[in-house]
Structure 1
Amino acid sequence: MRPPLLLRSGAMNTDDWTAFGAIVTAVGVVVAAVMAYWTTRKAAAAAADSADTAREVAQIERDRWHRELTPKLTFSLIRVGSNRLRLTTTLAGPVGLDHLDTITITVRDEAGRDHSARPHYDEAMRTELPSVIWGPARFSPGVDGVAAPGRQSIIRSLERGNFVHRQMDNSEPPSWFQDPGDWVDGYWEAKLRLHAVCEVEGHRPWIVVAEVANPGVEYISDGSDEMEIPEQYR
């Protein structure tokens, strides 16, 4: 018999090929897994970016809609007595905003002047200072739930097209003002500065600021404390 042929050095037998195939298959599985992982990561990142974009667009639309629904409040101030005024607040619009649940109106101090405590103020002056309204008028304390010093009034439930009256008084000078006439003269033509926070369920609050024409008062410097009603309001 002829002796069997010996495999040449370096040749692979069946087991070697089987092992090699298994390695190649395993590598392929790993590569496929890595590719699938990165594909999933990219898809997830793209989905997240898409979701972020959608949220941003939705927020932009909500902000735009909120701006378009900003309440159109109109204010008018008339004098009805020597120390009495009447503020009328009307919800004039916009279309789409049918009513407001609450309107919190605050009288702002005059602009451009610092009324913080001065070094020479004593304790009594510093205590009184927060209650001073540096402007022509204040809400009447004790009327319509207004608390002293009359800086703020709350209107509840106002429908579009309707209006509400609020009673106001001439603002009062601080106790260290020796001549009330100086106080009145200082605010003769000053506008009433208002800050209104408008709220309705389901929406973020809106803030409306306004400056309302002052009907004016004239102080009679004859030793009395009377205010003369301007001729057009007599």
Structure 2
Amino acid sequence: MYLIKKRYLNFIFTFFTLILLVIVALFYVILNYVDFNSEIQIKLYSERLVFAGILFAIVISAIYIIAVYKNIKVLKKLDKLIELSKYGNYEFKKELSKLGALGERIQTLFKQTTFMSEKKSFKISSMANLNNFLFENIDLNLVVCDVEGMIVNCSLSFYKKFKTEASEVLYRNINDFKILNFKEAVFDIDKSKQPIIYKRVVMKLDDAEYKIDVTCAPILNLKNELSNVVLQIE
């Protein structure tokens, strides 16, 4: 089993071929300048040298072709593994075993990646449960929106204060409640990366109007990009 970058393989082949040609040419010149007993003897040694050079060239070419073939074969198996991994097929492990040492290393890497993914999933689920706990117990009227304005979460305090339910609020657009121009608010928040307070704005909810103060706080992701907006309503 071989897996070598093509440019390295080509470089190695070219390097050894050039060395072979240089050696053959050098010895051929030397043979023609050395004083042997007869021209027949010179011709004999020259022909042997050329024959040996051709033989070695054939061997190098054969090794190169075999290496390229092995490379292509391994890459095809890897492509097949990629396809099988999409469907969680049992054949995945079976195909890995055909790759020998490389397959064992891929399987080890796969296990470690799966383990890390599970740990991350546990952490995410734990954070989600913590988030739900806080939203159910915090004494703040919070509304969480994505950058498009869709409401993805609200605190229990918000539902109680404004006498509404999750089914009436969640996954609706914040613009439905006429609180503010959300597009402009997102632009300002994204630019400043700081909370912005809007005083005495009107919110329409369930055919009722409320005069409220709204603090829009940005939630940034790892790339420092705006991911969500939290509205604290008072």
Q: Is the pair's TM-score, using the shorter chain for normalization, greater than 0.5?
A: no
Higher RCO (C-alpha under 8 Å, 6+ residues apart):
1
**TM-score (norm. length: structure 2):** 0.31
- Name the structure with the higher strand share: 1
